[in-house]
Structure formats: structure tokens, C-alpha cells
Structure 1
Amino acid sequence: MSHDAVILAAGGSRRLGRPKQLLTRDGETLVARVTRLVLATRPDRTIVVVGARCNEVATTLAAFDVQIIVNELWSTGMASSVRLAAAELAGRGRATLVTVVDQPALEASHLSALLSAHEDAAHEDDRDTVTAYGNAAGIPAILRACTLSRAIELEGDMGFRGLFSDMTPRSVRADELDDDLDDDADLRRAIAAGLVDDPRLPPRA
């Protein structure tokens, strides 16, 4: 399926107390890891929105063929990043894969499942396709162009869930993505599960 991609990597990780973008899994930063997984889906265009620690985050992506956009308003919440990406992709008229960096259990197989579900059902059921986990649903998601174009409506930390006003999106379940990296307890669980390297240990050679 022809699609674009957006990676939201601008947050300040206030509750965690360290930039989650620069945490590592098997020696690879989380922002580089999700970028690699997203690029494996062969998007036509890939945008990474950075903000906090933007220079360090951008440096880890030097080897990837992506467009980096700096969100100067990153501290106002995720909505400002979504608006920037939507403005950059305006008029392209294709579906957009949207991901974040703080789901260390994400694998390429789930992104492929999302894209397949969206493509297979699009001719019968024109809806966005999101990830279901626990009792919630959200990112990673495939947004239709008409949904992404409404991002100007978003404010603060609303995220793109506020865009699903016309109909309930279809979903692909991935309960392993329910655990993100909001605080130190989340980080400890991720380390124990082998999903994140312990930042207190020296980097792997």
C-alpha cells in the first residue's frame, strides 16, 4: 500500500526524567529502532518530528533517509507535532502510518499487520486503522488523508484520538504495546523484560 509515515519524537519525557528517545534496546536508540521498523514498511515519505534534545535525537538518525522537522512548541504537547506533520503532508492524499518512540515492544510484524488490515478493508469500510491494547486504542495507527487534514483541531496532549469524530476506527490488537515509558516504574518493567537496556550500565561494545 502506498503510504507516508510520521514518527513523533519531540517529547520532553518529564515524568521519566530522561529522554526516552535516547534510551536503547540492544544498543540501538529507541528513536533509531522505530525509524528502522517504519522504513521497513517502505513509506513514500517519512517525517520524524523532534523537539526536546533535538540535536542529539537527530544525530542518531543521520544514517536514515528521513525528513526531520523541529517542533519549537514541543512543550505544549503532542498536538503541536501532529499539526506540523499534517501541514507538511497536506495535499498528498494518501494514508499515513503514525508511530511514537516509547513502545519498546513494537515489532515490524505489527506495522505490517496494520497496513494489511487497512488496505484489505479500505474498499469496503473506509476508516482509520489503530492499535488496540488493554481497554484502549491508539498509536501505531494508519490515518486516512482526510483524518490527518483535521489535525489543526488538536490542542495540547489530545493526540490524534480527538480526530476520530466521524466513526470508530478499525483496530488490530497488540496488547504488548500497552506498556509505554511514562515513568521510572515503566522503565524498570521494560528493563526487566529485556525491552530496554539498563541506562545505569555502560553501553554495549
Structure 2
Amino acid sequence: MISNPSMQIADKQPASNHAVIVLASGLSQRLGQPKQLLYKDGEPLIRYMTKLAVTTNPQGVFVVIPDDHPAITHAIADLMLQHPASQILVNKIPQTGMAHSLSLGIAAIMDTSSAIDRVLIMGVDQILLDARHLMKLLAGKTSVVASGYHNWPHADEAGVSDILKKDIIGLPLVIDNELLKKWQPALIGDKGLRHLIRSLPPSQINTVTNAQLSYDIDTPAQLAYAQQKGWLDKQPYLYQSNINP
């Protein structure tokens, strides 16, 4: 049973024809520690977000992680076993950017099922993301249903504050699987989906606004701010997986 209220909204939703790609292969160089292993509500952030993806009742969840990080694998291994159509995908060149991680996820979906019509793509560091927002994205009918929010200042630019700047249309988002497959060859290096989405006519894009998505974790100052607000745990917990070593 999922005890967190933010994850309960989708519990009774029927299984749908979508899959989820969780992009979690970032190296967190500015943060200085793996953001996947920060803690929220007593569990690693990558596990928290993977469980959030599962609440949408997808056909499969594909979590892309960096190579040579056994602690990240361990944090979600039992969840993957509970959902046989799901996979952990290892990005051996995470330093090249998000595009390769996304391409790995698309290839895995293509290999797994031909019944997938839509793909939900999400990261792991939008720490105030909840199931309600994901279900709003999935309820959209356009080719792309993206999240709308602002970008909060990085500590090295303007300090940590509640002053937000720069409109963002980005993750998490839902996209038609056929369109995603068509775009896969263009996903190279740091060239992700944003420029491709911008090439679509406005009639094919819808935006679900959620100001809470502004808060992601890239720097130590942002982490300290999130912990001060109670959005992330201040002290790490000794997480125990159900998988025997």
C-alpha cells in the first residue's frame, strides 16, 4: 500500500496504453552527490519517483540510470521485479546529455510492446511532483501534453529565493509514441525534445501549468533550501530493499 497521499490518486485508475520513461542517469556534478539517492519521505528519490510513475498504471516503466552505480540500482530493483514489463536501462555515456537516455527508453519500449500509444517522460528531481499532475498530463488529447512552470534561480546566479524567472515548457510530459519514434534519430548529445516540440504547430501541443515543478535540485544551496522547507529529508535513512544481496 502507498501511504503518501500524493501517490494515491491514481491507485484505482485502470491500466492504460501508456508507458513511462524515467530519466535518472544524470551525474549530478553541480550537486556533488547523486540526486537519485537524496531522500524524500524516508526513501531514495529515485524510488519515490519510480513509485509515482507506477501509480499511473502504465504498461511498463523504463528507468534510465548511469553506469556503475549499484546503490541506485538497489534502490529500485524490487519495484522492477514487481512489474515484469518494466526495466532498468543503463546509460553508459551519461555525460553526453539527456538525449541518449531518452533514446534508450524509446528503444526499450519499441522492443517490449506494440500496444503502447503514448509515453509519459519524467525526471527524478522535481521534488514537488505528484500523481495528480501526472494524471492531468495523461488526460490530454494532443500529440504533446507538457508541463508549464518557471525556472528558479540557481545559487550561483541569484541565490536561492522564491523569485522565479523564465517560462519553461518541459518535463514531465506525455507524447504520442509514433511521434517519439519518429524523433528518435534526432536525439543526439544534449539535443533533447524541446527543440522538436517547438517545431510542432500550436494545435498539437497542450500545457498543464504547475508552479511547484519549478523546484528541482541542481546545487547544494537548492538542496539545503528544499530540506529547510521539508520537501526533502535532512538526514539519510538506512534504506532496506526487499531484494536479497
Q: TM-score, normalised by structure 1?
A: 0.89
Q: Structure 2 CA distance, aligned partners of 1:158 and 1:197?
A: 33
Counterpart of 1:81 (choices 98, 101, 125) is 101
Residue 147 of structure 1: which of 179, 201, 212 is its match? 179
Q: What RMSD over aligned residues (CA atoms) do the two structures have, in Å? A: 1.7
1:8 is the counterpart of 2:42: no
Contact map agreement 1:95 1:145 (CA 8 A) in 2? yes
Which residue in 2 is equivalent to 1:94? Answer: 117
The alignment's TM-score, normalised by the length of structure 2, stands at: 0.75
Whole-angstrom distance in 1 between the partners of 2:149 and 2:68: 29
Secondary structure of 1:61 counterpart? helix
Could you tell me which residue of structure 2 aligns to residue 190 of structure 1?
A: 226
1:113 Cα deviation after fit: 1.3
Give the superposition deviation at 1:133: 0.4
Residues 36 and 99 (structure 1), Cα distance of their counterparts in 2 relative to 1, 3 Å cut: same
| Alpha-carbon distance, 1:195 to partner | 1.0
Shift of 1:166: 2.3
The answer (yes or no) to whether the contact 1:12–1:52 under 8 Å persists in 2 is: no
Name the SS of the counterpart of 2:230 in structure 1.
Answer: coil
In structure 1, the partner of 2:53 is 38
1:11, 1:52 within 8 Å by CA — same for their partners in 2? no
Are 1:10 and 1:54, in contact at CA under 8 Å, matched by a contact in 2? no
Which runs of 5 or more residues in structure 1 are unaligned? Answer: none
In structure 2, list runs of 5 or more residues that go unmatched. 1-15, 151-166, 240-245
**Aligned 1:1-205 pairs, distance under 5 A:** 1-64=16-79, 65=83, 66-90=86-110, 92=114, 93-116=116-139, 118=140, 122=141, 126-134=142-150, 135-149=167-181, 150-164=183-197, 165-168=199-202, 169-198=205-234, 201=235, 203=237
Aligned residues with identical type, % of pairs: 34
Moved over 3 A (4+): none
